[in-house]
């Protein structure tokens, strides 16, 4: 899917997936990888990779926890959908 080294600590990257889909892969702490559907649960805008310890949506300002995807600030009322990934050597794989 992508290499672990391409995901900055404290931030993340948008990864292109088959079929025009994208995945937001983040590394909130060194060695801790998470992946989310980057579509904001509010009305579907693409969220930004984490900055300053938070994932934000540029459209209306919702904020999400980069480790769990949980909502920290609305208007979104639900969190980002997490996608299971695993680390295999230097590669991150969908699990
Ligand atoms: S679409 Fe993300 S806050 Fe509205």
Question: pLDDT confidence of 1, banded at 50, 70, 90?
Answer: confident
Rounded-to-integer distance, Cα 3 and Cα 18, Å: 17
pLDDT of residue 20: 83
Residue 22, ligand 1, Cβ within 6 A = no
Average pLDDT of the chain is: 95
Domains, the chain, with CATH or none = 2-85 (2.102.10.10)
The pTM of this model reads 0.95
Percent of the chain topping pLDDT 90? 89
Residue 95 has pLDDT above 90, yes or no: no
* 14 and 38 Cβ atoms separated by less than 8 Å: yes
pLDDT at 34 over 90: yes
Asked if 59 contacts 40 with a C-beta cutoff of 8 angstroms, the reply is yes
Burial class (CB in 10 A: 0-12, 13-18, 19+), 82: middle
d(CA 65, CA 63): 7
Of ligand 1's listed atoms, the one at least distance from the Cα of 74 is 3
- Ligand 1 contact via 73 beta carbon (within 6 Å): no
């Amino acid at each position: 899917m992508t290499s672990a080294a391409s995901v900055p600590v404290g931030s993340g990257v948008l990864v292109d997936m088959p079929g025009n889909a994208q995945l937001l892969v983040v590394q909130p702490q060194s060695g801790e990888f998470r992946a989310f559907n980057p579509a904001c649960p509010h009305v579907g805008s693409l969220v930004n990779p984490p900055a300053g310890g938070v994932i934000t949506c540029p459209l209306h300002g919702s904020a999400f926890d980069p480790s769990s995807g949980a909502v920290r600030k609305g208007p979104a009322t639900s969190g980002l959908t997490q996608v299971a990934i695993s680390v295999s050597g230097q590669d991150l794989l969908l699990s």
